[in-house]
Homo-oligomer: A and B are copies of this chain.
Amino acid sequence: MADTTETLEHRLSRIHLALENEQLADVDAVIADLEPAEIALLLESLPPAARVQLWQRVPTEVDGEVLLHVHDEVRSTLLDDMDHEEIVAAAAALDTTDLAEIFEDLPQQVAEDMLRSMDALQRTRLEETLSFEEDSAGRLMRMDTIAVRADVSLETVRRFLRWKESVPDNTHLLMVVDRDGRFVGALSLARLVSHDPEMAVADLMDREVDSIRVDMKSRDVATLFQTHDLVSAPVVDETGLLLGRIVIDDIVDVIREDSDQALMNMAGLDEEEDLFAPVLPSAKRRAVWLGINLLTAFLAAWVIGRFEDALDKIVALAVLMPIVASMGGIAGSQTLTLAIRGLALGQISRTNSSWLLRKEIGIAALNGLLWSLVVALLAVVWFGNLAIGAIIAAALVINMLAAGVAGIVIPLMLKRAGIDPALSGSVILTTVTDVVGFMAFLGLATFFLL
């Protein structure tokens, strides 16, 4: 029985220690017990130098699978460390679907050599897979489907499977096709084994099985698997021709990457980012995001600059103004996060967005009133000035209302424009809450106090 109790953290410590002390036999012992996906996780958890050391110890026969499981950025650091022959050997060990996933990352010379070394069938399959759009069912599909005809008996199917000797990994459904290769239904292995061998496939097969169009978006395929509790499903073309099957283990990756993406994009990061990337390229990538934010910070500063007069005369304004901007930013980011998740799950549409907007305005009004009272009280106590308390209270309510509206409207507009709301939503929102916050507070002060 495999040992499933050792955590990644424990393995990491062992590997680190072994690499530091150059006890390579220990390193080999750790990785010998691991699945390629676990080796991939370990590699991703190591700084560059240690990563290269470990990578050199990984047995050649699992190199391909490991490359498949690491994030894009880590993959390119690993490929950089391999010579031509090693890459060809690693890639050759993958099946068509897996190879297609990393094919575009391979050095051009390697890709060309691989295509040359393939037989005609392999090449056709690879080219066909690559011809599907990147985030579509076609790319997730495996072609090792077992297809049977509806009019044969279970006994015939069993003889056929026995003759094949091995059934592909994770085969749970046999696909039933007509004479033209069109999908007509599926027969689960569970039914096949639990029924009388004299029965015909047609009597037992499930005709209501969900089939997936080859051009369906990966994200929609993932939703279908989740809502229908699928383990595998047939993939068909627009005429119903059976092309292959999608199995849940590939869908699990789609689900994880999808949710990862929202989290990372909200901070202006790429979900393929390598945690242990070298300083220079990381700094470059993040510089862009900081630059964009600097623009919005200067916009806010420019707004403040319009009220130099007020700031010059009443120093309390400078002290209190960040409170108004910050509370708006926090309230807005709560609404924005809810909206981004709702959009990702497909739960927000034109029909319910106005209800949602009213709800967020209601919440903003209530919390605006509550906290503006608290802030006003504290400001009056601090500066002994009733008018300042009234003004900050009014500005806070205004900014929180603006934040509630912006938190719903911005992601909806971005989505409609085909822009990922998680990526640019928070920058735009902060701009709104900063500008509105400073303008309301300093504007009211200028009007009433000068």
The residues of A with any CB-CB pair to B shorter than 8 Å are 1-2, 4-5, 7-9, 12-13, 16-17, 35, 37-38, 41, 44-47, 158, 161-162, 164-167, 170-172, 183, 189-196, 207-213, 216, 220, 223-231, 248-249, 251-253, 255-256, 259-260, 262-264, 266-269, 273, 275-280, 282-283, 286-287, 289-291, 293-294, 296-298, 300-301, 304-305, 308, 311-312, 315, 317-323, 325-327, 330-331, 333-334, 336-338, 340-342, 345-352, 355-356, 359, 362-363, 366-367, 370-371, 374-375, 378, 382, 430, 434, 438
Q: Please determine whether A12 and B192 come into contact, CB atoms closer than 8 angstroms.
A: no
Q: Please determine whether A346 and B286 come into contact, CB atoms closer than 8 angstroms.
A: no
Q: Given that A170-B231, A275-B342 are known contacts, is A363 also in contact with B282, CB under 8 Å in the complex?
A: yes
Q: Please determine whether B158 and A12 come into contact, CB atoms closer than 8 angstroms.
A: no
**Copies of the chain in the assembly:** 2
Q: Ordered nearest first, which 7 A-B pairs have the shortest CB separation?
A: A259-B259, A279-B362, A318-B318, A267-B337, A37-B227, A45-B347, A167-B190
The residue of chain B having its C-beta at the shortest distance from the C-beta of A160 within the complex is B194
* Complex interface: chain B residues within 8 A of A191 (CB): 167
The residue of chain B having its C-beta at the shortest distance from the C-beta of A291 within the complex is B371
Q: Given that A293-B330, A301-B323, A338-B269 are known contacts, is A210 also in contact with B2, CB under 8 Å in the complex?
A: yes
Q: Please determine whether B286 and A300 come into contact, CB atoms closer than 8 angstroms.
A: no
* Complex interface: chain B residues within 8 A of A336 (CB): 267
- In angstroms, how far is the closest chain B Cβ from the Cβ of A46? 7
Q: Please determine whether A268 and B334 come into contact, CB atoms closer than 8 angstroms.
A: yes
| In the bound complex, CA of A79 to CA of B291 (Å) | 50
Q: Please determine whether B356 and A8 come into contact, CB atoms closer than 8 angstroms.
A: no
Residue in contact with A220 in the complex, picked from B7, B171, B207, B227, CB distance below 8 Å: B7
* Complex interface: chain B residues within 8 A of A356 (CB): 47, 275-276
Q: Please determine whether A279 and B352 come into contact, CB atoms closer than 8 angstroms.
A: no
| In the bound complex, CA of A264 to CA of B4 (Å) | 30
* Complex interface: chain B residues within 8 A of A266 (CB): 263, 266, 337
